[in-house]
Chain A
Amino acid sequence: MINKIEDIEIRLLLDAIFEKYHYDFRGYSTASVKRRLHQAVERLGCRTFSVLQDRVFHDPSILPELLSFLTVQVSELFRDPAYFRAIRELVVPHLKTYPSLKVWVAGCAAGEELYSLAILFREEGLEDRTLFYGTDINPAALRKAEAGVYELERIPLFTENHRRSGGKTSLSDYYTAAYGAAVFDKTLRRRAVFSDHSLVSDAVFAEVHLVSCRNVLIYFDRDLQDRAIGLFKDSLTRKGFLGLGAKESLRFCKHADAFAEFAREERIYQMRGVS
Protein backbone atom coordinates (compact mmCIF):
# COMPACT_ATOMS: atom_id res chain seq x y z
CA MET A 1 0.00 0.00 0.00
CA ILE A 2 2.99 2.30 0.53
CA ASN A 3 3.48 2.58 -3.19
CA LYS A 4 -0.14 3.50 -3.73
CA ILE A 5 0.15 6.53 -1.42
CA GLU A 6 3.37 7.51 -3.15
CA ASP A 7 1.63 7.36 -6.53
CA ILE A 8 -1.11 9.68 -5.26
CA GLU A 9 1.47 12.06 -3.85
CA ILE A 10 3.35 12.18 -7.13
CA ARG A 11 0.17 12.86 -9.06
CA LEU A 12 -0.69 15.72 -6.70
CA LEU A 13 2.84 17.08 -6.88
CA LEU A 14 2.75 17.18 -10.69
CA ASP A 15 -0.67 18.86 -10.48
CA ALA A 16 0.79 21.44 -8.09
CA ILE A 17 3.72 22.18 -10.41
CA PHE A 18 1.29 22.62 -13.30
CA GLU A 19 -1.23 24.78 -11.39
CA LYS A 20 1.38 27.07 -9.97
CA TYR A 21 3.98 27.28 -12.75
CA HIS A 22 2.28 25.89 -15.89
CA TYR A 23 5.06 23.35 -16.41
CA ASP A 24 3.20 20.20 -17.35
CA PHE A 25 4.94 16.91 -16.56
CA ARG A 26 1.71 14.96 -16.20
CA GLY A 27 2.14 13.28 -19.59
CA TYR A 28 5.75 12.28 -19.05
CA SER A 29 6.87 8.64 -18.79
CA THR A 30 5.93 7.60 -15.28
CA ALA A 31 8.87 5.37 -14.47
CA SER A 32 11.46 7.97 -15.32
CA VAL A 33 9.63 10.88 -13.64
CA LYS A 34 9.25 8.84 -10.47
CA ARG A 35 12.90 8.03 -10.46
CA ARG A 36 13.92 11.64 -10.86
CA LEU A 37 11.45 12.83 -8.24
CA HIS A 38 12.92 10.30 -5.82
CA GLN A 39 16.31 11.90 -6.45
CA ALA A 40 14.79 15.35 -5.98
CA VAL A 41 13.16 14.68 -2.59
CA GLU A 42 16.38 13.09 -1.39
CA ARG A 43 18.69 15.89 -2.53
CA LEU A 44 16.34 18.70 -1.55
CA GLY A 45 16.03 17.20 1.92
CA CYS A 46 12.27 16.62 1.74
CA ARG A 47 10.88 13.76 3.79
CA THR A 48 7.99 13.04 1.42
CA PHE A 49 6.58 14.12 -1.94
CA SER A 50 3.93 16.02 0.01
CA VAL A 51 6.62 18.08 1.73
CA LEU A 52 8.06 18.87 -1.69
CA GLN A 53 4.58 19.84 -2.86
CA ASP A 54 4.33 22.31 0.03
CA ARG A 55 7.58 23.88 -1.12
CA VAL A 56 6.31 24.07 -4.69
CA PHE A 57 3.44 26.19 -3.43
CA HIS A 58 5.31 28.38 -0.95
CA ASP A 59 8.99 28.56 -1.91
CA PRO A 60 9.62 30.16 -5.32
CA SER A 61 13.32 29.23 -5.23
CA ILE A 62 12.40 25.57 -5.63
CA LEU A 63 11.32 25.72 -9.28
CA PRO A 64 14.71 26.02 -10.99
CA GLU A 65 16.06 23.18 -8.84
CA LEU A 66 13.06 21.02 -9.54
CA LEU A 67 13.33 21.68 -13.28
CA SER A 68 16.91 20.51 -13.23
CA PHE A 69 15.69 17.18 -11.88
CA LEU A 70 12.63 16.87 -14.09
CA THR A 71 14.29 17.72 -17.40
CA VAL A 72 17.06 15.42 -18.54
CA GLN A 73 20.10 17.36 -19.74
CA VAL A 74 22.44 14.67 -20.93
CA SER A 75 23.95 15.05 -24.38
CA GLU A 76 27.19 15.28 -26.33
CA LEU A 77 28.43 17.07 -29.42
CA PHE A 78 27.80 14.74 -32.36
CA ARG A 79 26.21 12.13 -30.08
CA ASP A 80 25.64 9.01 -32.24
CA PRO A 81 28.10 9.93 -35.00
CA ALA A 82 26.24 7.71 -37.47
CA TYR A 83 23.23 10.02 -37.22
CA PHE A 84 25.28 13.06 -38.13
CA ARG A 85 27.01 11.14 -40.89
CA ALA A 86 23.60 10.32 -42.36
CA ILE A 87 22.52 13.97 -42.09
CA ARG A 88 25.74 14.94 -43.87
CA GLU A 89 25.71 12.32 -46.59
CA LEU A 90 22.01 11.76 -47.20
CA VAL A 91 20.03 14.78 -46.01
CA VAL A 92 22.40 17.63 -46.87
CA PRO A 93 22.26 16.94 -50.65
CA HIS A 94 18.49 17.55 -50.47
CA LEU A 95 18.86 20.63 -48.30
CA LYS A 96 21.35 22.09 -50.76
CA THR A 97 18.54 22.52 -53.28
CA TYR A 98 16.81 25.14 -51.11
CA PRO A 99 17.79 28.83 -51.24
CA SER A 100 17.06 29.27 -47.54
CA LEU A 101 16.70 26.79 -44.70
CA LYS A 102 15.27 26.55 -41.23
CA VAL A 103 16.28 23.90 -38.73
CA TRP A 104 14.49 23.24 -35.43
CA VAL A 105 16.33 21.47 -32.61
CA ALA A 106 13.45 20.63 -30.29
CA GLY A 107 14.45 20.00 -26.67
CA CYS A 108 17.91 21.45 -27.26
CA ALA A 109 19.00 21.31 -23.58
CA ALA A 110 22.48 22.84 -23.28
CA GLY A 111 22.83 23.19 -27.04
CA GLU A 112 25.18 20.31 -27.90
CA GLU A 113 23.09 19.14 -30.82
CA LEU A 114 22.53 22.62 -32.22
CA TYR A 115 26.26 23.38 -32.20
CA SER A 116 26.90 20.01 -33.85
CA LEU A 117 24.50 20.89 -36.67
CA ALA A 118 25.88 24.42 -36.96
CA ILE A 119 29.40 23.03 -37.39
CA LEU A 120 28.19 20.42 -39.87
CA PHE A 121 26.27 23.03 -41.87
CA ARG A 122 29.34 25.28 -41.94
CA GLU A 123 31.46 22.39 -43.20
CA GLU A 124 28.89 21.67 -45.91
CA GLY A 125 28.55 25.31 -46.97
CA LEU A 126 24.95 25.63 -45.82
CA GLU A 127 25.42 27.82 -42.78
CA ASP A 128 24.85 31.19 -44.41
CA ARG A 129 21.44 30.29 -45.71
CA THR A 130 20.23 28.58 -42.53
CA LEU A 131 18.39 29.77 -39.45
CA PHE A 132 18.56 27.47 -36.42
CA TYR A 133 15.91 27.38 -33.72
CA GLY A 134 16.88 25.77 -30.42
CA THR A 135 13.98 25.35 -28.02
CA ASP A 136 13.65 23.95 -24.53
CA ILE A 137 11.46 24.44 -21.47
CA ASN A 138 14.32 24.85 -19.03
CA PRO A 139 15.59 28.47 -18.85
CA ALA A 140 18.86 27.41 -17.19
CA ALA A 141 19.58 25.00 -20.07
CA LEU A 142 18.79 27.70 -22.64
CA ARG A 143 21.24 30.06 -20.94
CA LYS A 144 23.92 27.36 -21.14
CA ALA A 145 23.09 26.76 -24.78
CA GLU A 146 23.41 30.44 -25.53
CA ALA A 147 26.76 30.58 -23.74
CA GLY A 148 28.16 27.56 -25.62
CA VAL A 149 30.66 26.69 -22.90
CA TYR A 150 31.40 23.03 -22.11
CA GLU A 151 33.76 21.33 -19.67
CA LEU A 152 37.14 20.72 -21.22
CA GLU A 153 37.12 17.11 -20.07
CA ARG A 154 34.22 16.40 -22.45
CA ILE A 155 36.17 17.63 -25.50
CA PRO A 156 38.04 14.37 -26.33
CA LEU A 157 34.71 12.56 -26.65
CA PHE A 158 33.23 15.41 -28.72
CA THR A 159 36.31 15.38 -30.96
CA GLU A 160 36.12 11.63 -31.51
CA ASN A 161 32.37 11.86 -32.24
CA HIS A 162 32.95 14.69 -34.71
CA ARG A 163 35.62 12.71 -36.51
CA ARG A 164 33.40 9.63 -36.73
CA SER A 165 30.53 11.75 -38.07
CA GLY A 166 32.64 12.48 -41.14
CA GLY A 167 33.83 15.89 -39.93
CA LYS A 168 35.80 17.72 -42.61
CA THR A 169 37.58 20.11 -40.26
CA SER A 170 39.14 19.88 -36.83
CA LEU A 171 36.79 20.44 -33.91
CA SER A 172 39.49 22.58 -32.30
CA ASP A 173 38.80 25.18 -35.02
CA TYR A 174 35.52 25.94 -33.26
CA TYR A 175 36.44 26.52 -29.63
CA THR A 176 39.05 28.15 -27.44
CA ALA A 177 40.14 26.52 -24.21
CA ALA A 178 40.24 28.68 -21.12
CA TYR A 179 40.10 27.94 -17.40
CA GLY A 180 39.12 24.29 -17.78
CA ALA A 181 36.36 25.11 -20.24
CA ALA A 182 35.92 25.05 -24.01
CA VAL A 183 34.23 28.21 -25.24
CA PHE A 184 32.61 27.66 -28.61
CA ASP A 185 32.99 30.23 -31.37
CA LYS A 186 30.30 32.91 -31.08
CA THR A 187 29.88 33.04 -34.85
CA LEU A 188 28.41 29.51 -34.69
CA ARG A 189 25.31 30.95 -33.06
CA ARG A 190 25.10 34.03 -35.24
CA ARG A 191 22.27 32.32 -37.05
CA ALA A 192 20.73 30.59 -34.03
CA VAL A 193 17.74 31.62 -31.95
CA PHE A 194 17.30 29.97 -28.56
CA SER A 195 13.88 30.23 -27.03
CA ASP A 196 11.43 28.85 -24.57
CA HIS A 197 8.98 26.44 -26.20
CA SER A 198 7.07 23.50 -24.79
CA LEU A 199 6.20 20.46 -26.88
CA VAL A 200 3.48 19.77 -24.30
CA SER A 201 1.57 23.03 -24.51
CA ASP A 202 2.89 25.36 -27.23
CA ALA A 203 1.98 25.55 -30.91
CA VAL A 204 3.81 25.54 -34.22
CA PHE A 205 5.96 28.66 -34.59
CA ALA A 206 7.72 28.32 -37.95
CA GLU A 207 7.92 26.34 -41.15
CA VAL A 208 11.13 24.30 -41.09
CA HIS A 209 13.02 21.91 -43.36
CA LEU A 210 14.61 19.75 -40.67
CA VAL A 211 13.49 18.90 -37.14
CA SER A 212 16.05 17.20 -34.95
CA CYS A 213 14.51 15.95 -31.73
CA ARG A 214 16.63 13.24 -30.19
CA ASN A 215 16.12 11.49 -26.88
CA VAL A 216 13.34 13.85 -25.92
CA LEU A 217 10.30 11.80 -26.88
CA ILE A 218 11.41 8.85 -24.73
CA TYR A 219 10.46 10.94 -21.70
CA PHE A 220 6.87 11.34 -22.97
CA ASP A 221 3.97 8.92 -22.79
CA ARG A 222 2.35 7.87 -26.06
CA ASP A 223 -0.28 10.62 -26.16
CA LEU A 224 2.31 13.28 -25.59
CA GLN A 225 4.58 11.71 -28.19
CA ASP A 226 1.69 11.93 -30.64
CA ARG A 227 1.21 15.60 -29.81
CA ALA A 228 4.89 16.43 -30.29
CA ILE A 229 5.16 14.53 -33.56
CA GLY A 230 1.96 16.25 -34.70
CA LEU A 231 3.72 19.58 -34.10
CA PHE A 232 6.72 18.43 -36.14
CA LYS A 233 4.43 17.29 -38.93
CA ASP A 234 2.68 20.67 -39.02
CA SER A 235 6.01 22.54 -38.92
CA LEU A 236 7.80 20.62 -41.64
CA THR A 237 7.75 21.62 -45.27
CA ARG A 238 6.68 19.08 -47.85
CA LYS A 239 9.52 16.54 -48.06
CA GLY A 240 11.02 17.96 -44.87
CA PHE A 241 13.11 15.75 -42.56
CA LEU A 242 12.63 14.54 -39.00
CA GLY A 243 15.53 13.05 -37.03
CA LEU A 244 14.88 11.07 -33.84
CA GLY A 245 17.05 9.36 -31.22
CA ALA A 246 18.68 6.00 -31.95
CA LYS A 247 15.97 4.08 -30.08
CA GLU A 248 12.99 6.24 -30.97
CA SER A 249 10.67 5.49 -33.86
CA LEU A 250 7.30 6.41 -35.31
CA ARG A 251 6.22 2.78 -35.04
CA PHE A 252 3.69 3.39 -32.29
CA CYS A 253 2.72 6.90 -33.42
CA LYS A 254 -0.61 7.90 -34.95
CA HIS A 255 1.10 10.24 -37.43
CA ALA A 256 3.35 7.48 -38.77
CA ASP A 257 1.61 7.51 -42.17
CA ALA A 258 2.60 11.12 -42.80
CA PHE A 259 6.27 10.11 -42.86
CA ALA A 260 8.43 7.76 -44.90
CA GLU A 261 11.53 6.05 -43.51
CA PHE A 262 14.48 7.88 -45.02
CA ALA A 263 17.49 6.46 -43.16
CA ARG A 264 16.14 3.57 -41.18
CA GLU A 265 19.04 2.76 -38.88
CA GLU A 266 19.70 6.42 -38.08
CA ARG A 267 16.00 7.11 -37.47
CA ILE A 268 15.64 9.84 -40.04
CA TYR A 269 12.18 10.26 -41.57
CA GLN A 270 10.96 12.33 -44.49
CA MET A 271 7.52 13.91 -44.80
CA ARG A 272 5.55 12.39 -47.63
CA GLY A 273 4.34 14.67 -50.41
CA VAL A 274 0.83 16.11 -50.62
CA SER A 275 -1.64 13.68 -49.09
Chain B
Amino acid sequence: MTGPSARAVVIGASSGALEALLGILPGLPKGYPLPIMVVVHVPPDRKSLLAEILGMKCRMGVREAEDKEPVCAGTVYLAPPDYHLLAETENCLSLSSEEPVHYSRPSIDVLFESAADVYGPGLIGIILSGGSDDGARGLQAIRQAGGTALVQRPSLALVPVMPQAALDVCPDARSLSLEEITACLLEAATV
Protein backbone atom coordinates (compact mmCIF):
# COMPACT_ATOMS: atom_id res chain seq x y z
CA MET B 1 0.00 0.00 0.00
CA THR B 2 1.62 3.24 1.05
CA GLY B 3 5.31 3.41 1.90
CA PRO B 4 6.54 2.20 5.29
CA SER B 5 6.75 5.65 6.82
CA ALA B 6 4.89 8.43 5.08
CA ARG B 7 6.07 11.86 6.25
CA ALA B 8 4.06 14.22 4.08
CA VAL B 9 1.18 14.42 1.60
CA VAL B 10 0.91 16.60 -1.50
CA ILE B 11 -2.34 17.14 -3.42
CA GLY B 12 -2.98 18.79 -6.78
CA ALA B 13 -6.36 19.75 -8.20
CA SER B 14 -7.93 22.16 -10.66
CA SER B 15 -11.53 22.34 -11.96
CA GLY B 16 -13.68 20.42 -9.51
CA ALA B 17 -11.05 20.88 -6.78
CA LEU B 18 -13.38 22.03 -4.03
CA GLU B 19 -15.76 19.08 -4.33
CA ALA B 20 -12.85 16.64 -4.45
CA LEU B 21 -10.99 18.19 -1.51
CA LEU B 22 -14.21 18.23 0.51
CA GLY B 23 -14.45 14.51 -0.19
CA ILE B 24 -11.10 13.90 1.51
CA LEU B 25 -9.88 16.52 3.98
CA PRO B 26 -12.90 16.67 6.34
CA GLY B 27 -12.44 12.91 6.86
CA LEU B 28 -9.05 13.44 8.54
CA PRO B 29 -8.79 13.98 12.30
CA LYS B 30 -7.57 17.13 14.04
CA GLY B 31 -4.27 15.59 15.06
CA TYR B 32 -3.54 13.99 11.69
CA PRO B 33 0.20 13.34 11.99
CA LEU B 34 1.30 14.39 8.49
CA PRO B 35 1.50 17.82 6.91
CA ILE B 36 -0.54 18.21 3.70
CA MET B 37 0.53 20.64 0.97
CA VAL B 38 -2.08 21.49 -1.64
CA VAL B 39 -1.94 23.25 -5.00
CA VAL B 40 -5.25 24.26 -6.53
CA HIS B 41 -5.27 26.30 -9.73
CA VAL B 42 -6.74 29.60 -8.60
CA PRO B 43 -6.94 32.94 -10.44
CA PRO B 44 -3.81 35.04 -9.84
CA ASP B 45 -5.40 38.43 -9.32
CA ARG B 46 -7.72 38.00 -6.39
CA LYS B 47 -7.82 36.69 -2.87
CA SER B 48 -8.70 33.01 -2.63
CA LEU B 49 -11.46 31.91 -0.25
CA LEU B 50 -10.39 28.28 -0.41
CA ALA B 51 -8.60 28.31 2.95
CA GLU B 52 -11.64 29.77 4.70
CA ILE B 53 -14.09 27.36 3.08
CA LEU B 54 -11.96 24.29 3.77
CA GLY B 55 -11.15 25.59 7.25
CA MET B 56 -14.82 25.58 8.17
CA LYS B 57 -15.26 21.96 7.08
CA CYS B 58 -11.98 20.45 8.30
CA ARG B 59 -10.75 19.45 11.70
CA MET B 60 -7.15 19.95 10.59
CA GLY B 61 -5.85 23.52 10.48
CA VAL B 62 -6.02 25.00 6.97
CA ARG B 63 -4.11 28.04 5.79
CA GLU B 64 -2.36 29.70 2.90
CA ALA B 65 1.37 29.08 3.11
CA GLU B 66 3.80 31.91 3.90
CA ASP B 67 7.32 32.01 2.58
CA LYS B 68 9.82 30.08 4.80
CA GLU B 69 6.98 28.86 6.97
CA PRO B 70 7.89 25.90 9.20
CA VAL B 71 6.02 22.71 8.27
CA CYS B 72 3.79 21.39 11.06
CA ALA B 73 1.93 18.09 11.23
CA GLY B 74 -1.84 18.30 11.29
CA THR B 75 -1.89 21.32 9.01
CA VAL B 76 -3.07 21.80 5.44
CA TYR B 77 -0.99 24.37 3.52
CA LEU B 78 -2.49 25.90 0.38
CA ALA B 79 -0.43 27.55 -2.33
CA PRO B 80 -1.40 31.25 -2.46
CA PRO B 81 -2.70 32.75 -5.73
CA ASP B 82 0.07 33.82 -8.11
CA TYR B 83 2.89 31.96 -6.28
CA HIS B 84 4.43 28.55 -6.67
CA LEU B 85 4.62 26.56 -3.43
CA LEU B 86 7.75 24.45 -2.90
CA ALA B 87 9.02 22.09 -0.21
CA GLU B 88 12.30 23.69 0.78
CA THR B 89 13.37 21.10 3.35
CA GLU B 90 11.38 18.55 5.37
CA ASN B 91 10.61 21.33 7.83
CA CYS B 92 10.23 24.41 5.68
CA LEU B 93 8.12 25.68 2.78
CA SER B 94 9.07 28.35 0.29
CA LEU B 95 7.24 30.41 -2.32
CA SER B 96 8.39 31.56 -5.72
CA SER B 97 7.09 33.84 -8.45
CA GLU B 98 8.99 32.15 -11.23
CA GLU B 99 7.23 31.81 -14.58
CA PRO B 100 3.90 29.98 -14.67
CA VAL B 101 4.17 26.27 -15.55
CA HIS B 102 1.41 24.87 -17.79
CA TYR B 103 0.04 28.43 -17.77
CA SER B 104 -0.43 28.14 -14.06
CA ARG B 105 1.07 29.70 -10.99
CA PRO B 106 0.80 27.93 -8.62
CA SER B 107 1.77 24.77 -10.50
CA ILE B 108 1.24 21.24 -9.20
CA ASP B 109 4.40 19.97 -10.92
CA VAL B 110 6.54 22.53 -9.10
CA LEU B 111 5.24 21.46 -5.67
CA PHE B 112 5.36 17.73 -6.44
CA GLU B 113 8.89 17.77 -7.89
CA SER B 114 10.32 19.78 -4.99
CA ALA B 115 8.53 17.57 -2.44
CA ALA B 116 9.68 14.37 -4.18
CA ASP B 117 13.24 15.64 -3.85
CA VAL B 118 12.85 16.45 -0.16
CA TYR B 119 10.70 13.56 1.12
CA GLY B 120 11.67 10.76 -1.32
CA PRO B 121 9.86 7.52 -0.43
CA GLY B 122 8.12 9.27 2.48
CA LEU B 123 5.77 11.20 0.23
CA ILE B 124 2.21 10.50 -0.89
CA GLY B 125 1.14 12.40 -4.02
CA ILE B 126 -2.50 12.73 -5.06
CA ILE B 127 -3.96 14.07 -8.32
CA LEU B 128 -7.63 15.04 -8.25
CA SER B 129 -10.17 16.45 -10.69
CA GLY B 130 -8.95 19.00 -13.23
CA GLY B 131 -8.78 20.07 -16.83
CA SER B 132 -5.04 20.36 -17.51
CA ASP B 133 -2.09 18.01 -17.51
CA ASP B 134 -0.29 19.81 -14.69
CA GLY B 135 0.78 17.30 -12.04
CA ALA B 136 1.49 14.34 -14.32
CA ARG B 137 5.23 15.04 -14.42
CA GLY B 138 5.28 15.77 -10.73
CA LEU B 139 3.53 12.53 -9.88
CA GLN B 140 6.08 10.70 -12.01
CA ALA B 141 8.88 12.39 -10.03
CA ILE B 142 7.26 11.16 -6.80
CA ARG B 143 7.14 7.60 -8.13
CA GLN B 144 10.75 7.79 -9.29
CA ALA B 145 11.79 8.93 -5.83
CA GLY B 146 10.02 5.90 -4.34
CA GLY B 147 6.92 7.71 -3.09
CA THR B 148 3.27 6.70 -3.35
CA ALA B 149 1.09 7.90 -6.24
CA LEU B 150 -2.71 8.09 -5.93
CA VAL B 151 -5.15 9.40 -8.53
CA GLN B 152 -8.85 10.14 -8.33
CA ARG B 153 -10.45 7.59 -10.66
CA PRO B 154 -11.11 9.61 -13.84
CA SER B 155 -14.62 8.19 -14.27
CA LEU B 156 -15.50 9.54 -10.81
CA ALA B 157 -13.85 12.96 -11.22
CA LEU B 158 -15.88 16.04 -12.09
CA VAL B 159 -13.27 16.81 -14.77
CA PRO B 160 -11.32 13.68 -15.72
CA VAL B 161 -8.54 15.22 -17.87
CA MET B 162 -5.98 15.76 -15.13
CA PRO B 163 -6.26 12.41 -13.34
CA GLN B 164 -6.24 10.67 -16.73
CA ALA B 165 -3.11 12.55 -17.82
CA ALA B 166 -1.45 11.52 -14.56
CA LEU B 167 -2.38 7.87 -15.11
CA ASP B 168 -1.07 7.99 -18.68
CA VAL B 169 2.33 9.10 -17.42
CA CYS B 170 2.22 7.03 -14.21
CA PRO B 171 0.40 3.80 -15.10
CA ASP B 172 1.25 2.26 -11.74
CA ALA B 173 -0.47 5.04 -9.77
CA ARG B 174 -3.50 3.72 -7.89
CA SER B 175 -6.79 4.90 -9.33
CA LEU B 176 -9.24 5.33 -6.45
CA SER B 177 -12.47 6.89 -5.26
CA LEU B 178 -12.29 9.80 -2.81
CA GLU B 179 -13.37 7.46 0.03
CA GLU B 180 -10.55 5.08 -0.84
CA ILE B 181 -8.04 7.91 -0.97
CA THR B 182 -9.18 9.07 2.47
CA ALA B 183 -8.82 5.52 3.79
CA CYS B 184 -5.30 5.36 2.35
CA LEU B 185 -4.34 8.59 4.10
CA LEU B 186 -5.76 7.36 7.42
CA GLU B 187 -3.91 4.10 7.04
CA ALA B 188 -0.64 5.81 6.13
CA ALA B 189 -0.87 7.76 9.36
CA THR B 190 -1.26 4.70 11.56
CA VAL B 191 1.76 2.77 10.26
Contact = CB atoms under 8 A, between A and B. Distances in A.
B67 A247 contact: yes
A252 interface: yes
Contact of A218 (B97, B117, B120, B145): B97
Interface stretch (B5-13, B83-91, B158-166): B83-91
Contacts of B87: 31
B24 interface: no
14 contacts: A30-B88, A31-B86, A31-B87, A31-B88, A34-B117, A72-B96, A74-B99, A218-B68, A222-B68, A246-B80, A246-B82, A247-B67, A249-B66, A252-B68
A29 B67 CA distance: 10
A251 B94 contact: no
A186 B73 CA distance: 53
A215 interface: yes
A32 B98 contact: yes
Contacts of A246: 80, 82
A35 interface: yes
A74 B117 contact: no
Interface string A24-64: 00000111101110000000000000000000000000000
A29 B88 contact: yes
Interface of A: 3, 29-32, 34-36, 72, 74, 215, 217-219, 221-222, 225, 245-249, 251-252
Contacts of A215: 97
Q: Which 4 A-B pairs have the closest CB atoms?
A: A31-B86, A31-B114, A218-B67, A29-B94
B89 A218 contact: no
Given A29-B94, A222-B68, 9 more contacts: A3-B145, A29-B96, A31-B114, A74-B98, A218-B68, A218-B96, A218-B97, A245-B97, A247-B64
B95 interface: yes
Contacts of A72: 96-98
Among B64, B80, B88, B110, chain A packs the most CB atoms within 10 A around the CB of B88
B113 interface: yes
A3 B146 CA distance: 12
Interface size class of B (residues with CB under 8 A): 20 to 34
Contacts of B83: 218, 247
A225 B68 contact: yes
B169 to A, nearest CB: 18
B80 to A, nearest CB: 5
A218 B145 CA distance: 26
B176 interface: no
Nearest to B101: A35
A213 B67 CA distance: 15
B114 A74 contact: no
A35 B113 contact: yes
A30 B94 CA distance: 9
B118 interface: yes
B98 A36 contact: yes
Interface string B54-75: 0000000000111111000000
A7 to B, nearest CB: 9
A265 B13 CA distance: 27
A219 B145 CA distance: 25
Contact of B89 (A30, A32, A247, A249): A30
A210 to B, nearest CB: 21
Contacts of A247: 64-67, 80, 83, 95
Contacts of B69: 252
